[in-house]
Structure 1
Amino acid sequence: MTTTAEFHLTDADRASLPTPEEVAHYREHGWYLSRKLFTDEELDTLQAATERYYAGERDRELPVRPPRLAAWEPSHGPVQRHNDYVHYESDAIGAILRKPLVGAVAALLAGAEEIRIFQSTLILKPPVPGEPSNRVPWHFDKHYWQTSASENMLTAFIPFHDCREENGTITMVDGSHLWKELPSGEDSTRHFADRDNGELDAILDANAAHNGAEVVKIPMLIPRGHMSFHHCRTYHGSGPNLAGFPRRAVSLHLQDGANEYRRHEKADGGPVVYNHDVLVRRTADDRPDYADPAYCPTTWRGDLTTWRGAR
């Protein structure tokens, strides 16, 4: 079990935390571009570990296969690769993704004293401009996390290299995390990879119109070692990779310490199921435990108020 003493920030780390003004910007706009949080050496180590992962190296495998698991393998060909639970299956990948500084940044943005990993997805977007899977349509993460009680969850997008529009960087819809959903409930973007891009475009436009808002798209221009963070209700997507090399990244989904499982029902009355629900341990009242350290390790715990504005 990780102890509080293990969550340590150096003076150099302190200079990399968001300022109060930047936290306020995140709360207003739904996204944040960080300072450099990973060294070049850490990213070299991370990329080497992911190459071994793609070659089949695992420190452990999931005991059961969840129903909606993203698990690219070579037989799938040159499509966009998505592999979930890489922080669980690879010790080398997990050790880097659990860096306390990343958790501390997330804690300030979310206004929390504890941050846990919720999910991690390894992504490779091949340099194939016409590959349909390379375009990620508009969606927001909370639609996947309907069984999570928290409204403060967030995602860190961690590219292994400079990430620009040319290679299909992640793009945010500014301020969309503040929008109210359509009363009909027809704006869910769950399972976007299985759906027509035009349908997701129409949902975004309808949601903006319902809120009297303009769709303002902000491409995240991310230097190597930096990353973007976005709120769980921020619409985002990405375009094709027009560069001559793969776009490599990890999408690191994070939960605040207050998050827990809550039952959520589909339109037919059946329960929504997240992949964790067949993997994590059970709570005393027999619910999936989203604090299970095997799958949802803590990456930050502590009061950061003393760090605010201390530059």
Structure 2
Amino acid sequence: MTTVTEFELTAAERALLPTPEEVAGYREHGWYLSGKLFTDAEVDALQAAADAYYDGHRDRTLAVRPPNLAAWEPAHGPVQRHNDYVHHESDALGALLRKPLVGAVAALLAGAEEIRVFQSTLILKPPVPEEPSNQVPWHFDKHYWHTSSSEEMLTAFIPFHDCGVENGTITMVDGSNRWRELPSGEDATRHFAQRDRSELESILTANAAHNGAEVRKVPVVIPKGHVSFHHCRTYHGSGANLADFPRRAVSLHLQDGANEYRHATRPDGSPAAYNHDVLVRRTADGRPDYADPDFCPVIWRGAR
């Protein structure tokens, strides 16, 4: 067991860790729904901190604005809100999102000794069914992480309330994490918001056929305090919010301790990049350091 006390778990928390059978299920299906990792009070504190963030509170701001930063502001109107780096800009959000139990679950799923934050995105999907931005097309996260060396990165989706089909919960394409991707001349590093929805649906169908697989879409019904985890190669998306209240959540992207920057290129030969590359410190050999504690803090380290 780790000797770093800040990463130790209570007996009650250890009981919430995935079993070997559940880890095997994650490997097979590409996603895992946890037990209640956050208390109701902690979730309510997340929502209060998010409200303060939307009201303009920042404990710090980014020194440089990255080129593809998601940064909703009131002038953008009632579209789906995405705000990156909230774990860095808000101490209250950061403290809650660094909960060691979340990292311990991720470590078991990823087969890692260490888990660091990679990114955090605050999301609000307004109750406007006809709003096009509310429907998130099929994609997988590794497409946007070409400069990351790891194939075991994962995302924790943390809603602030019960999250189901009516309010547009996250939906997984079951088992797609094990697919071999069909070669394509398309620039997969482009964010889904910059691509045509029908194009992405066609890519999903073609990749399923290439693997002799069925496109089985599974909406994940997430009770308050529970967390949905998915592998970086699991296709996922979400539908419109048909409820009468906003769907609110944080998408917490996580990296294993072995992850580091690697040079990667787009189909046209130009270098791929991630927003971190203009923000984080540099390694001894001059590469962006994806272990920079200011932006990528460790949330779990120790024996699994």
Q: Is the 8 A contact 1:129 1:240 kept in 2?
A: yes
Counterpart check, 1:242 vs 2:242: yes
Counterpart check, 1:220 vs 2:214: no
User: What's the Cα RMSD here?
Assistant: 1.0
Deviation at 1:267, TM superposition (A): 1.7
Partner of 1:162, secondary structure, is coil
Q: Is the 8 A contact 2:113 2:303 kept in 1?
A: yes
Q: Structure 1's 186 and 214: CA in aligned 2 closer, same or farther, altered over 3 A? A: farther
Partner of 1:121, secondary structure, is strand
Which residue number in structure 1 is paired with residue 29 of structure 2?
29
For 1:201, the aligned partner's letter is E
Which residue number in structure 1 is paired with residue 45 of structure 2?
45
Which residue number in structure 2 is paired with residue 97 of structure 1?
97
Deviation at 1:165, TM superposition (A): 0.3
Q: Distance in 1 between matches of 2:94 and 2:47?
A: 12
Partner of 1:26, secondary structure, is helix
Which residue number in structure 2 is paired with residue 309 of structure 1?
none
Partner of 1:254, secondary structure, is strand
Q: Distance in 1 between matches of 2:255 and 2:142?
A: 11
Counterpart check, 1:192 vs 2:186: no
| Contiguous gaps of at least 5 residues in structure 1 | 305-311
Q: Is the 8 A contact 1:181 1:187 kept in 2?
A: no
Q: Distance in 1 between matches of 2:14 and 2:30?
A: 22
Deviation at 1:298, TM superposition (A): 0.2
Which residue number in structure 1 is paired with residue 151 of structure 2?
151
* Residues 129-144 of structure 1 mapped to structure 2, 5 A cutoff: 129-144=129-144
Q: Distance in 2 between matches of 1:183 and 1:82?
A: 30
Bigger mean CA offset, 179-188 vs 229-238: 179-188
| Contiguous gaps of at least 5 residues in structure 2 | none
For 1:126, the aligned partner's letter is P
Deviation at 1:269, TM superposition (A): 1.6
* Residues 164-203 of structure 1 mapped to structure 2, 5 A cutoff: 164-186=164-186, 188=188, 190-203=190-203
Which residue number in structure 1 is paired with residue 285 of structure 2?
285
Deviation at 1:270, TM superposition (A): 1.4
Partner of 2:24, secondary structure, is helix
Kindly tell me the number of residue pairs found equivalent between the two proteins: 302
Q: Is the 8 A contact 1:110 1:153 kept in 2?
A: yes
User: CA offsets per residue over residues 48-98 of structure 1, 9 Å max, x none?
Assistant: 000000000000000000000000000000000000000000000000000
Q: Is the 8 A contact 1:140 1:189 kept in 2?
A: no
For 2:20, the aligned partner's letter is P
Deviation at 1:268, TM superposition (A): 2.0
Which residue number in structure 1 is paired with residue 295 of structure 2?
295
Partner of 1:34, secondary structure, is strand
Q: Is the 8 A contact 1:153 1:232 kept in 2?
A: yes
For 2:235, the aligned partner's letter is Y
Partner of 1:222, secondary structure, is coil
Q: Distance in 1 between matches of 2:29 and 2:260?
A: 26
Q: TM-score, normalised by structure 1?
A: 0.96
For 1:283, the aligned partner's letter is T
Q: Distance in 2 between matches of 1:135 and 1:184?
A: 24
Q: Distance in 1 between matches of 2:181 and 2:196?
A: 20
Deviation at 1:184, TM superposition (A): 3.1
Partner of 1:71, secondary structure, is coil
Partner of 2:95, secondary structure, is helix
Deviation at 1:190, TM superposition (A): 3.1
Q: Distance in 2 between matches of 1:29 and 1:123?
A: 25
Which residue number in structure 1 is paired with residue 56 of structure 2?
56
Which residue number in structure 1 is paired with residue 8 of structure 2?
8
For 1:164, the aligned partner's letter is G
Q: TM-score, normalised by structure 2?
A: 0.98
User: CA offsets per residue over residues 114-140 of structure 1, 9 Å max, x none?
Assistant: 000000000000000000000000000
Deviation at 1:266, TM superposition (A): 1.1
User: CA offsets per residue over residues 15-55 of structure 1, 9 Å max, x none?
Assistant: 11000000000001100000000000001111000000000
Deviation at 1:185, TM superposition (A): 4.6
